[in-house]
Structure 1
């Protein structure tokens, strides 16, 4: 009898924990994430190239994709400090543009502060919308990206899908262990409940990053 009570208690704890975790995963949040999708060194090594801001024979091509990975709109007024690209001091930005957008309504504004520093501000950025910036830079070595946006600590640089491996493995092990070590049919419904609440939002995020950072450019 005591064992049955313990199992029912575990069912209750798992159910409540799953609901709390799912609520944390789906609550409103702001977020911008970026990834370098193309870097081509010395695109002008075979001859001189002409750009808006001069000619050069040692030019690097850089393309970076930005996505609103939150579930809240981000307006121009939310940018307390624009998205800022700071290249190495010897670099010179020869040309820059927003070459692709998920929506024609997205307007991207550039403010060139000096040869190696440019600020970028989108006017209105809905969840799951994206745009790709293209830079031609001479004497390129490195760059930093930073910004300050209301409700966001900092924009994030995308790394890989590996961060999803541990949660997926945890869900799998939880499912297998529950099926093996429990004789209660109620556990089956608890497992389905937990997988739907936790696994589905997680799978949505996984699919989102795979689609926009791995399958499309």
Structure 2
């Protein structure tokens, strides 16, 4: 009886030993991403409407209304560089068809020597193609009148389908620690099973209870391992085909 349970536990350990490196591989694999973050959106005169009607704002001797100062950060959130040649269309920040952009300026750069050129239009700002290494970022300050909220950031970049809203990525260290805690909890649970503390409560012996609990876990781990292996092989073959095609093109 105990021999069967030991085989199941050993098999689970082997699958886990194969699956964990595959998961780490996918967390570290090449990713091309471009993201944006609205750092702040402040109305220039944020007072009650009855008082606001008595306050007038002029820009270059022209009356402007509903003025906002919007700060937007653009960041290479992937782990691959984005070169100038990767851009088919520059990064465009659309702020609404009826808005009027008064000023736009670069507020911050990471790194400091990032070469940025921007083009201000009536209701949009374009960031000209530039080299963005992983974690490189730039922050723009845009002063807008007649702003009703909302914006759209777009570009045409090789290997990137769309510019997404920036979310701070989970570190591999955090994921590893979380997995370790879960594993310790599972081991502690099975320790209670083998001491017959849980099985006796349900009227089951150790072997039957272990099979009931381990069966779904082993099936899930096998499925995960097979899916990851399939993706690894697929990525490898695609990369090799691209390398062969690239060499033939050079010839």
CA distance in 2 between counterparts of 1:14 and 1:182 reads: 18
Determine the structure 2 residue equivalent to 1:85.
Answer: 93
2:189 to 180, 186, 197: 180
- In the superposition, the TM-score normalised over structure 2's length comes to 0.62
Determine the structure 2 residue equivalent to 1:214.
Answer: none
Alignment of 1:150-189 (within 5 A): 150-158=158-166, 171=179, 172-182=181-191
Query: 1:95 aligned to 2:97?
Result: no
CA distance in 2 between counterparts of 1:90 and 1:6 reads: 66
Determine the structure 2 residue equivalent to 1:115.
Answer: 122
After superposition, give the CA deviation of every residue in 1:122-181 in whole Å (9 maximum; x if it has no partner): 52111122211110011011321112211112111035789x9xx689734343113431
- With 63-72 and 18-27 compared, the bigger mean Cα shift is at 63-72
CA distance in 1 between counterparts of 2:62 and 2:16 reads: 63
Greater strand share, structure number: 1
Query: 1:149 aligned to 2:151?
Result: no
CA distance in 2 between counterparts of 1:54 and 1:158 reads: 36
Greater helix share, structure number: 2
Structure 2 residue matching 1:69: 3-state secondary structure: coil
CA distance in 1 between counterparts of 2:58 and 2:139 reads: 22
Equivalent residues of 1:83, 1:119 under 8 A apart: yes
Equivalent residues of 2:41, 2:71 under 8 A apart: yes
Equivalent residues of 1:74, 1:124 under 8 A apart: yes
Structure number with bigger Rg: 2
After superposition, give the CA deviation of every residue in 1:41-86 in whole Å (9 maximum; x if it has no partner): 13496553536x9663531100011221211111222122221111
Equivalent residues of 2:74, 2:137 under 8 A apart: yes
CA distance in 1 between counterparts of 2:33 and 2:39 reads: 19
Assess, with a 3 A threshold, how the Cα gap between structure 1 residues 178 and 122 changes in structure 2: closer, same or farther.
Answer: farther
Assess, with a 3 A threshold, how the Cα gap between structure 1 residues 110 and 168 changes in structure 2: closer, same or farther.
Answer: same
Assess, with a 3 A threshold, how the Cα gap between structure 1 residues 49 and 124 changes in structure 2: closer, same or farther.
Answer: farther
CA distance in 1 between counterparts of 2:111 and 2:62 reads: 31
2:76 to 68, 91, 100: 68
Alignment of 1:201-212 (within 5 A): none
Determine the structure 2 residue equivalent to 1:18.
Answer: 20
2:64 to 45, 56, 69: 56
After superposition, give the CA deviation of every residue in 1:174-193 in whole Å (9 maximum; x if it has no partner): 4311343159xxxxxxxxxx
